[in-house]
Amino acid sequence: MSEPLVSIIIVNWNGVKFLKDCLESVRAQKRNGLEVIFVDNGSTDGSADFVKKNFPEVVMVEKSENTGFAAGNNSGINIAKGKYILTLNNDTVAEKDFIERLVAAAEASGEKTGMWAPKILSMARPDIIDSAGGLLVSKDCLAKGRGRNETDAGQYDANGEAFIPSACAALYRKKMLDEIGLFDEDFFAYCEDTDLGLRARLFGWETVSVPSAVIYHYYSGTTGRYAPLKAYLVERNRLWVAIKNLPLSMLLISPFYTLARYFTQFYGVISGKGAGGKAKEEYSVWSLFSSVVRAYYDGIKKLPVMFSKRKAVQSKRAVSVRDVKKWFSRYGISVTEIALKD
């Protein structure tokens, strides 16, 4: 019996320094049946030429400009031939049996399982978790890797249901993507995996954690961990995720969680705790504040579009509001966890 084809999508923008390690780890995988699609988003650092010269087996998609992570992945998915789609960040390095273990889990899963979440560890400190079994999501739709910054002691090594995967390294069933649609290109980058994962769950698809599939990640290798651009995109996009995917009762109360988060993040900034405290060490408070203001300005301008998308998503919801609330209870993350822990 032939192995199912896996299409690997790697989106890149000026990441040539990561590509040798990333693509060599893909080349070294212990299985056949791989299609590697490299989407270069208008890089100016020679990334495309590097890949063409050193990895001629890779299918190239070259963009004239940076179209973003969401659109870049969609360009690759649209030409992919695989039964499964594997999204990989360009700043990842996979263990040799990574894809083999993911596909084995996928082939053993039920037909309504459409997403698989591996164990993602820190490249800088391989004993530290980046995400173990996907993402946890707050009630105002900010996401954080499960177990992030914990020491990996096997505490998340049981196979089982997860919430949604991080597209840093996620396996998707192509049939599911054909049904629910691809990444929302309005997002450009960040939170597009939260949006797609929640949409899939609302449509009745499930996620499985595969902790035996291990990959290493630099974390925000392209934009920087605390950059104002990242703050802007995350805050704008999480607003859109909430509008599109939350049941009305949850959507109406989500601003109260956001307000509580802002107060807690402000405390983090002045006390030097959490991402806000770290960001203040690299950027001015004003630059961070202005990023959030701009996020709301641009986010609100697009509300008519997002409410139209909400109508389309909610009209196909196959689960109850009670089920959604159970997910956020089981896979949620607190204001304190978001604001005061990096």
Residue-wise pLDDT for 227-249, tens only, equals 889 999 999 999 999 999 999 99
- For the segment 144-156, what is each residue's pLDDT rounded down to a tens digit? 999 999 999 999 9
| pLDDT band (50, 70, 90) for residue 220 | low
- Token pair for 36: 């590697």
Q: Return d(Cα 262, Cα 100) in angstroms, integer.
A: 42
Above 70 in pLDDT, residue 221? no
Q: Is the pLDDT reported for residue 1 higher than 70?
A: no
- Give Cβ neighbours of residue 248 (< 8 Å, ≥ 6 apart): none
Q: What is the pLDDT of residue 273?
A: 81
pLDDT at 266: 86
Residue 66 CB coordination number (10 Å): 18
Contact 339, 264 (CB under 8 A): yes
Catalogue all structural domains in the chain, each as residue range(s) with its CATH number: 6-217 (3.90.550.10), 228-340 (no CATH)
2: pLDDT confidence band, cut at 50, 70 and 90?
confident
What is the Cβ-side half-sphere exposure of residue 209, based on CA atoms within 13 angstroms? 22
pLDDT of residue 70: 98
CB 288 within 8 A of CB 276: yes
Name the pTM for this structure. 0.95
Is 114 or 223 the better-scoring residue by pLDDT?
114
- Are 92 and 22 a contacting pair, CB within 8 Å? yes
Task: Please report the pLDDT score of residue 308 as a whole number.
Answer: 99
Residue (of 272, 220, 250, 274) closest to 138 by Cα position: 250
Rounded to whole angstroms, the Cα distance separating 171 from 192 reads 15
Cα separation of 84 and 78, whole Å? Answer: 13
pLDDT band at 181 (very low <50, low <70, confident <90, very high): very high
Taking alpha carbons only, the member of 235, 227, 149, 165 closest to residue 201 is 165
Q: Which residue has the higher pLDDT, 260 or 286?
A: 260
Whole-angstrom distance, CA of residue 164 vs CA of residue 136 = 8
